[in-house]
Chains A and B, each alone.
Chain A
C-alpha cells in the first residue's frame, strides 16, 4: 500500500489532506455550543457537554465529569489539539517535510518561555505543573530537565544542542533577572524567519504566495497587537517597541509601522490603522480604548486564517490556518473553564470568546 502512494502525484496526496482538514473544521464548536457552555455552572458540566456533544468526545471516554480536575480537562484539550496536528501530517505522510514540523518548534518555544517565566519568578520547579508530558518524546531537548534548573546557565545547558542556545546565550540581565522580552522576541523572530525560509525554499507558485500571504498577515497583526499592548499597558519608548517587533512584515509598510509606534493616543493609533487593509476589516464601531480592542484584532487574525483555509487547496495553507483556528477554539474553552471557576456571568464570558 505504501509503495502505491509513491506513484500518486503529490497534488492528489495533498488534496486528501486538505479534505481531511476541511472535514474536521466542519466539526468546530458553534455559537450554540458556546452559548450552552458559558451558561454552565461547573467544570463537570462543561466536561460532560464536551463529552456528549462535540468532536472532543474521544478524549473524555474514561473521564468522570463529576470528579475531573479543571487542569486535567485543560491538559486533555491541549494534548488533543497537538495530536490532531500530528494526525493530519501522518495522514498522507507529509510529517517528514520541514514545514509540517513548525508546530513542534512553536510549542518548544512556548515551553522554554514558560520555564523562563518561572525562573524569573523564583520558582523554576513550579514549571513541572504545566509541563506537557505529551511533548516529552517529540521535543528536540530533554523537557524533563527544565523543572530541575536553578538558574539561566542551567537552562542554556539543557538547550545546548539546539538552535535556541545561540539565540539566548547573550541575552542581558536586568536587576538579576533575564530580560524575558528579549528572549521572547528572539525566539519568536527565529520561528518566524525559519518558517518563511522554509516556505521560500520548499514551495512554489500559488502555494508559496498564499503561505506568504497568510503568515505575513498574521505577523502584521501580531505586531499591531504588540505595539498596542506595549504603548497602552507598559508605556514603552518607541525604540524599545521597535526592538521587540517581529522582523518580517506583510502589508504594513515601515512608514505605517512607525506611525503606529509614534501615535500619541488611541485616536491617532486608530486613524493610522484605518489606513491599512486591516483597519478596513475592523468594525466601524471599534474603539482602540475599548477593552475588546485586542479581541477584535485577534478576530481579524481568525478571519484571515478562515479565508485562507477556504480559498486555498494547498495542504500547507490548510494545515497552518486550521492549526491556528483550533488554537483559538482551545483558548476559548480554557477561557470558559477559568471564567466558570471564578463564577463569571455567561454574558461576560461570551464577550471574551472569538468565533472561528
Chain B
C-alpha cells in the first residue's frame, strides 16, 4: 500500500554502452524527475578489490570555456539567466562558441579598460582635489612650495593609529603639520630637508602614510587649481558616461546570443559533472537513482530513443544502500503549509505526511486566536496579492489564515475592534447566542481552548499508534506514552476530570481508577519487557535492576508531566483571544481620547495590532505545531527529492 500523501518512489537502474552516457544523462536531466545517487556506493567493494568497476574522474572539458564566459564583465542590467536555447546556438560547435565568447570578451575588455582608466583619472584627480580643498585659503602658489630647493614636502594622510607614534621620532629632522582629520586619517603635510628625505620617507612609509602625489601640472594657487581640476574631472566623467553607453549598446547587440551560449554550456557542463555518479563495468555505464512512480513512463519513453540503454525499475527494498527521497504530495488547500513541515524536517519515506493536519490545525488555531472580521479580511487580501505578485507560498498561507480569522471574527462580533458593528446582522439572522463576547465567557473560552488541545493531542496519539503498528514497533504502538496504553490513560484521566463538571457523573470507582489509570501507568513502566514478550523475544536487562527501576520511574514521570504540560500549553489559545480583544479595547480607548484624530488612531492601532499580534500569534501556533503536535508522532528524517537539473547560476566548481 503506497504511503498516503508521499509520492511513491521507484528505484531505477539505467544501463547502457559507455558512449551513450552523455545522451542518457541529458534525457534524465530533461525529464526533471530523476533523483540521482552515486552508483559507486552499490559496488564499493568491487571498486576497491576487483577493479573491474571504475568511476569516472576526468576534467570537465567545458569548465575553462564556461569560466571564460563567466568572467566577462557586462556591467549592470545584463545578467546571465535561464532561457530556451535558440536553434542557431544548439547547432554551434564548442569551438564556435569559444570563438564567439573570446570575441565578446575582447571587445568588452577594451571598453572596460578604458572605463577603468577614466575612473582612475577621476579618483586620482579627486584625491588631489580633496587635498587642495583643505588648502583652499592658502595664498601661495604650489609651484613655489614644490620649487623649494632645500626642503621637500609631502602631502598625504596618516592613519590615526600612527599619529601617536610620531612622538617616537622626535629626534628626526622633519615637521608634520596636520590640517584635517576624519574617522580614519589625519590629513597633513610633512617638511623634510633634502638630505634626510629618503630616511624620513622610509619612516612615514613604515607608519603607512598614504602619500598623495600632486601632478606636476598643478602649480597655481589652490583655489585656481581647484577650478581646473573640477573641469578635468567633469570631462573624464563625460567620457566615462560615453564609454558606458557604448558598452550598453554593444551588450544589447550580443547579449542574447551570449546568454543562449551560456545556457547551452551550463547544460553541457552540469551534465558532464553527473558522469561522476556513474560507474563503468567493461564498456557499459551504470546509473542509479529514484524516480516518482508517476514519471516512470515518461522517463522510459524518453530513454527509448537511445539504443543500448535499458532501464530496470523496482520498488525500494529495506536493505537497499540508498533510502528513497521524499516528495510530498499535497492538495491545493494544504500545499502552502508544506513550508512549515519542511522547516521541521521531511517525513521518513513510508511515514506520515502531516501537511494536511498542519494546514487544518494551523488555520483553525490562528483564526481563533486572531478573530477579527476586518483584520482577517485585510490579511487575506494582502496574502492574496503577495501570492499573486511574487508567487510566495507565505502569501497563500496568509490568505487561508486571514479568511479563518474573518470567520471567527464574525463569530466574536469584532470588526477592526468595533465590537458592536455586527449586532444588526445578528439580529436580522436571529441567532441569539452570537456574537460570542469573549470577555464575558472567559472560563468557557479557556475550557474550549483546553478541549481543542486535548482533541489535537488524542488525534496525534492515534497517528502515532497507526504509524508504529505499520512499522511493527509493538512496544511503542501499544505500551508507549503515545501508544494505545497512553491513549487509554490520557483519555480516561480527562474523562474522569470532565464528567463530574459537564455531565455530573462521578467516574472515580475502584475498577475505573485501577483499570484505566493505575494499570496503564504500570504497563508504561514495563513497556520494554512487555514489548519483547509481544515480539516473542527474550528481554535482556543491560543495566542492574536498580538502574532499570530508576530510569523507567523518571521516564514515566516525564510522560505524565508531558501530558499535563502539553495540554495546558493550549491554554494560550484562549489567552490570545483575550489579548487580541484587550489590545483592540485599548486602541478604542485611545481613539476616544484623541477626539478629532480618532479615525487615524483607529487605523494606526489596527495596523499595529495586525502586525505585532499577527506575528506573535503566527509564531505561537507554529510552536504548538512543532512542540505539542509533532513531538508526539512525527519522525522527520527524510531526505529531500532533488531531481537532477541544470543550475543556472554564476558559480562553477
Contact = CB atoms under 8 A, between A and B. Distances in A.
A4 interface: no
Contact of A76 (B127, B167, B184): B184
Question: Could you say which interface size class chain B belongs to?
Answer: 10 to 19
B163 A69 contact: no
Interface in A161-217: none
Interface in A67-102: 67-69, 71-72, 75-76, 79
Given A62-B182, A75-B159, A133 B164 contact: yes
Interface in A50-69: 59-64, 66-69
B208 A75 contact: yes
B106 interface: no
B241 interface: no
A207 B315 CA distance: 54
A144 B167 contact: yes
Contacts of A59: 184
Contacts of B332: none
B208 A72 contact: yes
A131 interface: yes
Contacts of A136: 164
Most buried by A among B167, B184, B210: B184
A113 interface: no
A75 B161 contact: yes
Contacts of A75: 159, 161, 208
A134 B184 contact: no
A125 B185 CA distance: 24
Contacts of A61: 182-184
Contacts of B168: 125, 128, 144, 147-148
Contacts of A128: 165, 168, 206
A100 B185 CA distance: 30
B251 interface: no
A68 B183 contact: no
* Residue among A64, A69, A79, A129 facing the most chain B CB atoms (10 A cut-off): A64
A71 B207 CA distance: 9
Contacts of A63: 184
Contact of B163 (A71, A133, A147): A133
B210 A68 contact: yes
B162 interface: yes
Contacts of A148: 168
A64 B210 CA distance: 10
A132 interface: yes
Contacts of A66: 123
A253 B523 CA distance: 45
A71 B208 contact: yes
A79 B183 contact: no
Residue among B123, B159, B206 facing the most chain A CB atoms (10 A cut-off): B159
Interface in B143-184: 159-165, 167-168, 182-184
A340 B160 CA distance: 25
Interface in A113-150: 125, 128-129, 131-134, 136, 144, 147-148
B161 A132 contact: yes
A59 B183 CA distance: 8
A131 B207 CA distance: 10
A62 B164 contact: no
Closest 9 CB pairs of A and B: A69-B208, A62-B182, A62-B184, A133-B161, A72-B208, A133-B164, A71-B208, A72-B159, A75-B161
Interface of B: 123, 127, 159-165, 167-168, 182-185, 206-208, 210
Given A67-B127, A72-B159, A76-B159, 20 more contacts: A62-B184, A62-B185, A64-B123, A64-B127, A66-B123, A68-B210, A69-B208, A71-B208, A72-B210, A76-B184, A128-B168, A129-B207, A131-B165, A133-B162, A133-B164, A133-B165, A134-B161, A144-B164, A144-B165, A144-B168
15 contacts: A61-B182, A61-B184, A64-B210, A67-B127, A69-B159, A75-B159, A75-B208, A76-B184, A128-B165, A131-B165, A133-B164, A136-B164, A144-B165, A144-B167, A144-B168
